[in-house]
Amino acid sequence: MNWQDQVILVTGGTGSFGKKFVEIVQREFQPKKLIVFSRDELKQHEMRVAGFDQPNLRYFIGDVRDRERLRRALHGVDIVVHAAALKQVPACEYNPMEAIKTNILGSSNVIEAALDAGVKRVLALSTDKAVNPVNLYGATKLAAEKLFVQSNAYAAGTATRFSCTRYGNVVGSRGSVVPLFLQQRQTGRLTITDPRMTRFWLSLEQGVRFVIRCIEQMEGGEVFVPKLPSTKVTDLAKAIAPDAQVEIIGIRPGERLHEVLVNEDEARHTVELDDMFVIQPAEALWFGYAWQDRGRPLPEGFRYASNTNSEWLTVEQIREMVQSL
């Protein structure tokens, strides 16, 4: 793929992922045009004055809840990265309809507008919380995943293809516990919900580079899952504030001890590559099965979970990851 010929739009473009995506794509690929689509004029202004003001950059105010605005924004666009979401678990639990409007209906609007505009590739960002969800955020992202995978059925005979990436906690993103720990470090007291807790971890840059690779390789219908290291929340606390007092406050509503990126049922139609898993569509109605011969089938009962992972970050490795924050 020649990125210099592409017009790219990223929804949620002023968020943690969106800013890092714009930074890396601008620096390394210089696309024909890169459109930041988001609903907050102040964040767009702050992004522009922070140096994101190149001639090929466009700032488009809009909300994924507004299908007509999306149709206008996607005119002439080749690639869409759908990163807009409500993702704070407690906020989604307390405001369920708002989470549904943005994460499910907003995803549906992106799909409809992309089909109408003839966008070639649409990649949605999902989360480990979409697997066997126990909170509303995870449930909305699972529904969004299903929408993106199944919408390839509507794309038959057209150039439009839909796929998803699904990965774990991003160090330092707005939904991460890292900014909270950094803030609490100043008080000498850290709060942990449960000391047994484990999570998959990756940096913002790793997430962006994985998304770029998936855009280049997607056939339509896949869910791409990177192989990631796990970390214990207690090790994260030690890395950030080794001398702080730790208080156990109990698990929050909608929170769970461990995360899963591929469950046993999905494993039956998943192939393993050296650095990722590719979950193929459960039904071969259209495409997405080109990966069958590129990877290895998984053993019966396979489950990719943060607590049974073979790769773990040490306290020192965690410290290096959070140092820049």
Fold (topology level) of 3-168+202-227+263-305: Rossmann fold (3.40.50)
- pLDDT by residue (tens digit) across 111-147? 999 999 999 999 999 999 999 999 999 999 999 999 9
What does the pLDDT read at residue 286? 60
pLDDT band at 199 (very low <50, low <70, confident <90, very high): very high
One-letter identity of residue 9: L
Beta strands in the chain (DSSP E): 7-11, 33-38, 57-61, 79-82, 121-127, 161-167, 169-170, 189-192, 198-202, 223-226, 230-232, 245-248, 260-262, 270-272, 276-279, 296-297, 304-305
Closest CA to 199 of 169, 166, 235: 169
Q: Is 104 helix (H, G, I), strand (E, B) or coil?
A: helix
Q: What is the pLDDT of residues 5-24, one digit of tens each?
A: 999 999 999 999 999 999 99
pLDDT at position 192 is: 94
Which residue from 42, 45, 36 is spatially nearest to 18, judged by alpha carbons? 36
Say how far apart CA 149 and CA 308 lie, in whole Å.
Answer: 28
Give domain limits for the chain: 3-168+202-227+263-305
pTM of the model: 0.95
Letter for the amino acid at 118? G
Which among 19, 20, 87, 129 is annotated as catalytic? 129
Mean pLDDT over 235-244 rounds to 93
Active-site residue 20, yes or no?
A: no
76 within 8 A of 89, measured Cβ to Cβ: no
